[in-house]
Amino acid sequence: MNIGVDLGGTKLAVGTAESLQIITTPATSRGIVAAIEELTGEAQGIGICVAGRVDLQNGSTFAAQLPQLHGVPLLKHLSRPGRRVTLLNDADAAALAEHQFGAARGTHTSLYVTVSTGIGSGLVSQQRLYQGYRGQAVELGHAGGPGQQRCPCGRIGCIDISASGTAITRSARTLLGDPNVPVDILAQLAAQGHSGIGQIVRQAAEDLAPFLGNACVLFDPQVIVMGGGVVLGYGELYLDALRRALVASLGQWHIPEIRVAQLGKQAGILGALQSLE
């Protein structure tokens, strides 16, 4: 039996497509390993997705939300004879799941992009996830741009700084003069026609579009699947601006269809399980 693990900074979800157990993420690496061992039992395959970078050469992860796991050889701790363990980024897991079961089902090549706390992405072609030498690839949010701000990842000008959900929320709260406005209220105000928040959302989409365009030129996806809290919260306000800006960015190059992700919070587990196939 194969079991999927969706490992986040606050919640640890373990299960299959049919059942799921969710606990609070333990505060130590030893606690995380013990919890996964207990919840997966005698599973022959464990697929793990994590919100952060992965290094398959060392079987470890470098996730800002999981500092207790930095550099810890997670695969080594969980592997044993007769058991296969895989490790992948959560956006890669969602990319696999959406390609196999969701919005990109039946397509040749799909680019998945999530715009939430940060900007994550993954590429799947002919049912296979594209991964680089260390296991991480197509990190769209950390493609360098013309900006001068230094990203927490160490690079300068990452689009994650200016176009993520975090950036949109920060700018909208500054506009309103209230640092505590809930994100859902911001989305409601935008839907009601608040011009200032609407402009912030559209600008974020327009800032992301050239990076999407570069990915299209490099990888030629048939479709782009957009997920994450920004897409869910701001809907067509965001997507319409993104589509128009992508058309302008690509010019005579093929313009892939943009679709909305379908699998929501299930995507991580489903993708982690798919990585075992």
Contact 131, 124 (CB under 8 A): no
Cβ atoms of 266 and 16 closer than 8 Å: no
Output the pTM of the full model: 0.93
Q: In what order do the strands lie in the sheet with 257-260?
A: 128-129, 119-125, 109-115, 223-227, 257-260
pLDDT at 29: 95
260: left (phi over 0), alpha (psi -120 to 50) or beta: beta
Strand pairing partners for 27?
Answer: none
Model pLDDT, residue 157: 81
Residues in contact with 187: Cβ distance below 8 Å, sequence separation at least 6, in sequence order: 233, 234
221 contact partners, CB below 8 Å, separation of at least 6: 109, 110, 111, 123, 215, 256
Phi and psi torsions of 150, nearest 5°: -85, 130
Query: Residue 51's pLDDT is what?
Result: 84
Handedness of CA 71, 47, 96, 124 (dihedral sign): positive
Q: What's the token pair of residue 136?
A: 């991480």
The alpha carbons of the chain give a radius of gyration, in whole angstroms, of 19
Q: What are phi and psi of 192, to 5 degrees?
A: -85, 0
Residue ranges matching CATH 3.30.420.40 in the chain: 2-92+266-274, 105-261
Residues of the chain with pLDDT under 50: none
Residue range 2-92+266-274 in CATH 3.30.230.20: no
Residues 192-244 pLDDT 10s = 999 999 999 999 999 999 999 999 999 999 999 999 999 999 999 999 999 99
Residues in the chain: 277
One CATH from 3.10.20.90, 3.30.1330.40, 3.40.50.2300, 3.30.420.40 for 105-261:
3.30.420.40
pLDDT score, position 30: 95
In the chain, what is the straight-line distance between the N-terminal and C-terminal CA atoms, in Å? 12
- Which pLDDT value is given to residue 134? 79
Distance CA 108, CA 119 (A): 23
pLDDT for res 144: 73
